[in-house]
Amino acid sequence: MDLNFTAEENAFREAMRAFVRAKLPERIRHKVLNGLRLTRDDHVTWQRALHAQGWGGPTWPKEFGGTGWTPVQQYIFEEESVVGGGPRLIPFGLKMVGPVIMTFGNQAQQQRFLPRILAAEDWWCQGYSETGAGSDLAALKTRAEQQGDHFIVNGQKTWTTYAQYADWIFCLVRTDATVKQQQGISFMLIDMKSPGVTVRPITMVDGTQEVNEVWFENVKVPAENLIGEINKGWTYAKFLLGHERANIAGVGISKRELNRAKKLAASAMKRGRPLLDDPLFAAKIAEVEIELMALEITNLRVLSAEAENRAPGPEASILKIKGTEIQQAVTELLVQAAGPAARAFVDEVMEVGQQSGTTGPSYASGVAGNYFNMRKLSIYGGSNEIQKNIISQMILQL
């Protein structure tokens, strides 16, 4: 197994860097590199710039309008994009429902939905979790009853990220309550503009609206929006979750944010010297950096297996656990480096405080809010505790 990049791959990396420098709007780069909040338009602008270059689907095969890049090229692109200040590509369309439609959808569904995902014409959200059905997803209760050429959907989804922006939602719904839980679930695409769909925001601790409740009251969904076979949705859901867990690792994002923590610590003073020169803090930085290097090697091993068409096994769960732990550790370093300036994390307070000079430098904006937000990483996509169970079952045969 050769984990070194080839000359062609290094040339590809340089091309990616040049593209990001030339095509990424400076206003978006500034927001990303300084931890400021992005708007829907920021994400759409970047996706459309990539699409115009023919790179709208970095992980997609050419037959569906993607790049056809190798797993290593995909990895290089994602790293160079996020380290260079590009927004992380919203995964719900590109990395979740898109692969499901490619693999299990029919030709009409592929022709209808996939080009619009690439062109950022449709924004998708994920309808999986419910009250009482998060980690135990098979316990979901949202139901869909078939009536001729359509289904009637009733129920509720929660923690639905960016539902306030979404045009479509891909949902797991119960279509048979008389069989084993996993056998009575279907995978369905629902237009968010349908009568009976209601989005209710869940206000975060920093005052933002990132997640939502989505309610379905007698929502009429055409039968043509059912993916694959009825009652086979659990198979498609497991396929999707494998993509989600590997995507959560976020090596490039951790590299970018660790660099930000170093810069912040170099500016913060402690006992008359930069915090970065403090041996205890420097040791914490080094510890996280070593963990990140090990994670990157593991990620490259998974890519090598994919390139050889070998199934990665439990590595997706390993990447999910370590990736989320490292991202959370980096947010802790950022809060320590920001010091008292991290106390203000609500937008209005930060804006007023920076104007008056009472909340510290602008580069500390959002540090605490991001710290609180990132607590979710070890929960969604299958909690880390569940991932450890998966690893023990697959490796130790427990």
- β 209-222/226-227 pair status: unpaired
**Confidence band for 298, pLDDT divided at 50, 70 and 90:** confident
Provide the pLDDT for residue 186. Answer: 97
Q: What is the dihedral of CA 208, 214, 215, 218, to 10 degrees?
A: 140
* Interval 216-253: pLDDT, tens: 999 999 999 999 999 999 999 988 876 655 567 788 99
Between 126 and 303, name the one with better pLDDT. 126
Cα separation, 377 vs 24, whole angstroms: 27
pLDDT of 1 strictly over 70? no
CB atoms within 10 A of CB 322: 20
The pLDDT of 64-86, averaged and rounded, is 93
pLDDT at position 344: 60
Question: Which residues are the active-site residues?
Answer: 244
The per-residue pLDDT for 314 is: 77
Report whether CATH 2.30.30.90 matches the domain 124-231: no
- Encode pLDDT of 363-379 as tens digits: 666 788 888 888 888 88
Q: Mean per-residue pLDDT for 339-352? A: 63
Architecture of domain 249-396: Up-down Bundle (1.20)
Q: Average pLDDT of 306-311? A: 61
User: According to the model, what pLDDT value does residue 133 have?
Assistant: 81
Residue identified by tokens 């927004």 is 87
What's the pLDDT tens digit per position in 109-124?
999 999 999 999 999 9
For residue range 82-96, list pLDDT tens digits in order: 999 999 999 999 999
What integer is the mean pLDDT of 260-289?
91
State the pLDDT at residue 94: 95
Residue 174 has pLDDT above 90, yes or no: yes
* 334 pLDDT more than 70: yes
Specify the range with the lowest mean pLDDT, choosing from 24-33, 178-187, 348-357.
Answer: 348-357
Query: Among 193-202, 292-301, 350-359, whose mean pLDDT is lowest?
Result: 350-359
Confidence at residue 346, expressed as pLDDT on a 0 to 100 scale: 59
Mean pLDDT, rounded, for 128-153: 91
Which range among 7-16, 72-81, 300-309, 325-334 shows the weakest confidence by mean pLDDT?
300-309
Q: Cα separation of 19 and 71, whole Å?
A: 19
- Cβ contacts of residue 4 below 8 Å, gap of 6+? none
Question: What is the pLDDT at residue 242?
Answer: 65
Q: What are the backbone angles phi and psi of residue 269, rounded to the nearest 5°?
A: -105, 140
Domain ranges, ordered by start, for the chain = 7-89, 124-231, 249-396
Confidence class of residue 342 from pLDDT cuts 50, 70 and 90?
confident
Residue 205: pLDDT band (50, 70, 90) is: confident
Instruction: Give pairs for 93-97: CB < 8 Å, separation 24+.
Output: 93/117, 93/122, 93/123, 93/124, 94/57, 94/58, 94/59, 94/60, 95/59, 95/243, 95/244, 95/247, 96/124, 96/126, 96/170, 96/240, 96/243, 96/244, 97/124, 97/126, 97/170, 97/189, 97/240
